[in-house]
Amino acid sequence: MITIALAKGALLKYSVARFAAADLDFSAVLDKNNRQLMVPTPCGRARALLVRNGDVPTYVSYGQAQLGVVGYDVLKEHQLPVAQLVDLGFGACRMSVAVKARSGYRRASDLPAHCRVASKFIHCAREYFDALDLPVELIHLNGSVELGPITGMSEAIVDLVATGRTLRDNGLVEIEELFQSTARLVGHPLSMRLDGGALFDIVTSIRSVKTSEVVF
């Protein structure tokens, strides 16, 4: 049986719809009364593991799942050895540097050396500021990083932005974009190499469906 790691939260319904196009019915995971973390399809061809977004590449890289759906931001942050198979196109957002709107900073390079930057994405932030040759002190936060500049703990943040409303509502503004992120179908490299055709068929079916054609 093929095991597929699906991220809970915003990507889930889109993931379920995309796998439906490959004749894999994971709709049971959308049932609000469902408490199962491992859910098989009715046909018994595959099963879904419901995990946190950040854990998807871990399950795939260790082979507990042969396929998974996860945001590119997570892949870039965790740098685990998984095969990126398909850009699924949904879950679009961007990784950005943001500061207080009244700070006067208009580019990341305007930030003072050794200033503090708060982020959930420490690896991405470090890579970006190293490329700028700008030394900063990175503060890892798991919750609302917008509070960093608001409380004065940091000069800036590096975080995902979708509509930008949360930033605006908290008096923050984007000054640089690091990269764009969308959901990706990933695979366990060894499983893909040893595949007898079942994984290939799923990937081919999913790749052939445009995001605009998926019906919820």
Phi, psi of 197 (to 5 degrees): 130, -20
Residue 73 is classified by DSSP as H
- pLDDT, the chain, mean: 93
Q: What is the CATH number of domain 93-180?
A: 3.40.190.10
| CB distance 61 to 55 below 8 Å | no
For 50-65, write each residue's pLDDT tens digit.
999 999 999 999 999 9
For 176-201, write each residue's pLDDT tens digit.
999 999 999 999 999 999 988 999 99
What percent of the chain is modeled with pLDDT above 90? 87
Amino acid at the residue 130: D
User: Distance between CA atoms of 136 and 117, rounded to whole angstroms?
Assistant: 7
pTM here is 0.90
pLDDT for res 27:
94
For 93-140, write each residue's pLDDT tens digit.
999 999 999 999 999 999 999 999 999 999 999 999 999 999 999 999
Identical fold, 2-91+182-213 and 93-180: yes
Residue the block writes with tokens 């798991």: 142
Q: Where are the domains of the chain?
A: 2-91+182-213, 93-180
Residue 194, burial from CB neighbour count under 10 angstroms (0-12, 13-18, 19+): exposed
User: Distance between CA atoms of 94 and 83, rounded to whole angstroms?
Assistant: 22
For 168-179, write each residue's pLDDT tens digit.
999 999 999 999
Q: Does domain 2-91+182-213 have CATH number 3.60.110.10?
A: no
User: Distance between CA atoms of 185 and 198, rounded to whole angstroms?
Assistant: 15
Residue 1 has which token pair?
A: 């049986």
User: Distance between CA atoms of 123 and 78, rounded to whole angstroms?
Assistant: 8
| CB distance 46 to 40 below 8 Å | yes
Query: Strand ranges (DSSP E) for the chain?
Result: 2-7, 38-40, 46-51, 67-71, 83-87, 93-100, 116-119, 137-140, 156-161, 172-181, 183-187
Distances from the Cα of 122 to the Cα of 6, 111, 129, angstroms = 24, 17, 11
For 11-69, write each residue's pLDDT tens digit.
999 999 999 988 999 999 998 888 888 999 988 889 999 999 999 999 999 999 999 99
In Å, how far from its chain's centre is CA 91?
A: 8
Reduced to 3 states, what is the DSSP secondary structure of residue 71? strand
